[in-house]
Structure 1
Amino acid sequence: MSLVVPYDGTWPIRADEEMQRLREAVEGLITVHHIGSTSAPGLPATPILDLLPVFSHDAAADASRAALEVLGYEWMGAFGLAGRRYCRRDDPETGDRQVHAHAYVQGHADIRRHLAFRDALRANVSLRAAYASVKGACAARHPEGGEAYGTCKSAWIAKTESRALERY
């Protein structure tokens, strides 16, 4: 399977279903957003949904671990980003990664950063095309994905996020 695949119109539907599962099972959630490449119409992506659960306070976010694990998520803690609670869920039958959940407490600056980037991609066809080009080049250089693929895209993303935040 290729690291980056063409846009799949089921991604928003699957994201909505997963966000509903979270809202029904996890206490203390204010909202859940669909972020990342799978949230931008027409954008090729690594076929893993990125979700952004937002909690009312730290205690609620920390207490969500048990409920998330019951839903099949692996709790990873901050996983390198202060203030984040990161979880991931794999398909139990295939082992394929399905969801990354980047949870934060309401008011954390990374919520705004993620939403500004997502909204900029959703609103601008040229920006999506540029990002698709970057993603394609990075996937060709780093077909194994992982950290090398992420690092390859990081300068472009940081520049784009900065511009998006100025307008958000």
Structure 2
Amino acid sequence: MPPPIRVELIPYTAAWPAMAAEFIGQLRALGGFVLEVHHIGSTSVPGLSAKPIIDLMPVVVRLSELDRRQQDVVALNFEWHGEFGMAGRRYCTLNDSDGRRIAQLHFFETGSMHVARHLAFRDYLRAHPETARAYEKEKRRARDLHPADSHAYTEAKDAWIRQIEAKALIWYRARNQSRGV
């Protein structure tokens, strides 16, 4: 289990999508069992302050195949943490040479409810700037409560996220149905 890290929120930077694209390019080396890789989390929402950590969600054919290829992920300098408290996920982190976390991977199997959940939340925030601003306020509240403990910070904002996530999933499904997706 990775230790908690200090919670630093910084203003959105246009460099984040490029950083995500670079990491996505590196993950393509894992081969065809990685079906797609999505940039998720606050760094994927233009204008939203965030911890300067790129969250990526690789979607794989089967987690069992990913488990067999764990060393391939480690060879890309990511640290493997397994499920890390979420059944059906494989969680990995990447630190820079100074030991600061710069990226996190949240692997899920295709068809996992978590894939839609993460994409719905991201897309909802992108489409609803007022909700993104409210989320930023909630993140600052959680950071002020737990500035030195990223795990407690995450827990402190969980109820708020779950509430918006429920709305986001309804919106996301309706939007995709209207598009024929």
Using the size of structure 1 for normalisation, the TM-score is 0.95
Which residue pairs with 1:149 in the alignment?
A: 153
Residue 33 of structure 1: how far off its partner (Å):
0.2
Amino acid at match of 1:47: P
Query: What is the match of residue 54 of structure 1?
Result: 59
Correspondence for 1:43: 48
One of 83, 86, 92 as aligned partner of 1:81 = 86
Deviation for aligned residue 1:15? 0.2
Alignment of 1:99 with 2:106, yes or no, is no
Task: Confirm or deny: 8 A CA contact 1:2 1:143 kept in the other structure.
Answer: yes
Q: Secondary structure at the match of 2:165?
A: helix
* In 2: Cα distance, 1:54 partner to 1:139 partner: 30
Q: CA RMSD in A?
A: 1.3
Counterpart pick for 1:19 among 21, 24, 30: 24
Q: CA deviation at 1:8?
A: 1.2
- Number of the residue aligned with 2:117: 113
**Which consecutive segments of 4 or more residues in structure 1 shift more than 3 A?**
none
Distance 1:78 1:141 in 2: 27
Distance in 2 (alpha carbons) for counterparts of 1:47 and 1:63 = 30
Question: Are the counterparts in 2 of residues 26 and 68 from structure 1 also a CA contact under 8 Å?
Answer: no
Consecutive unaligned residues of structure 1, counting only runs of 5 or more, are none
- In the alignment, the residues of structure 2 paired with residue 145 and residue 6 of structure 1 have an alpha-carbon distance, to the nearest angstrom, of 20
In the other structure, the counterpart of 1:124 is 128
TM-score by length of 2: 0.88
CA deviation profile, 1:111-139 (whole Å, cap 9, x unmatched) = 11000000001111101100111111111
3-state SS of paired residue (2:65): helix
In 1, the alpha carbon distance for the partners of 2:21 and 2:85 equals 27
Count of residues in Structure 1 that have an aligned counterpart in Structure 2: 167
Counterpart of 1:71? Answer: 76
What letter corresponds to residue 44 of structure 1 in structure 2? S
